[in-house]
Structure 1
Amino acid sequence: MKKTFRFYKTDKGSWYIDLPEWTDGIEALQMVEGADTMLDTVSNQSDEVYLELSDEPFEGADVLHLTENLQDSITGGIYMMPFYKGTEINHPMWLCGVTEFVFKGLPPLIYVGYPV
């Protein structure tokens, strides 16, 4: 599965994924615990960014590595983003249960691309 997703930052500085097919509360769509600061980086400090996400490799993608599976406790998992566009950043983040919804499970690797 490879799909482009829109992420947006509210006036209060909170990041969310734009996921129209999500039927539960919007609070679950908020990016927190490192995902928010990663979005600040990849958005170049703007209030919107589009990312291509996939559970299969594709050219030019950075890779998020699952380092801790939290499906049996708080949902989702802790991922590490070692590099951003060739620069080492070693950025950890928690990706919540929405990740499981999007990927139909919790992939060991998530590939991230930056469409133009």
Structure 2
Amino acid sequence: MITPQTLEAYYVRIGRLKQRYLQERFEADLPPFTSREEAASWFRSLFADNFIFVEEMDTAGTGKYYLYDIIHDRELWERREKDLQEKGTANGLGMLLCTQRVDIYEDGSVHMAF
């Protein structure tokens, strides 16, 4: 069961900087959700300000889904956001792995990037 106390056990270290990243077991152990709102609320309760809404997307004729990011490295994420605003691009060591994408569908199903 995923709780604030067990969360650390779901992380692995990847990339040249050995950044923390949630592994597939995290998605497998998620509780069942019945709606997007319920799933997003659960993630917010676990990650607080490090769980952010990115955008709403249309599925292929079946409704909508919602993109969120879990911020794993706040300092790199802030630098990436600043570069995107000022330069229109962001590149640098660790920028790609400072967040992890979470797709949440209307029915509460969740898919994560690994």
Q: Could you say whether these structures have the same fold, taking a TM-score greater than 0.5 normalized by the shorter chain as the test?
A: no
- The structure richer in strand per residue is 1
- The structure richer in helix per residue is 2
Q: TM-score, normalised by structure 1?
A: 0.29
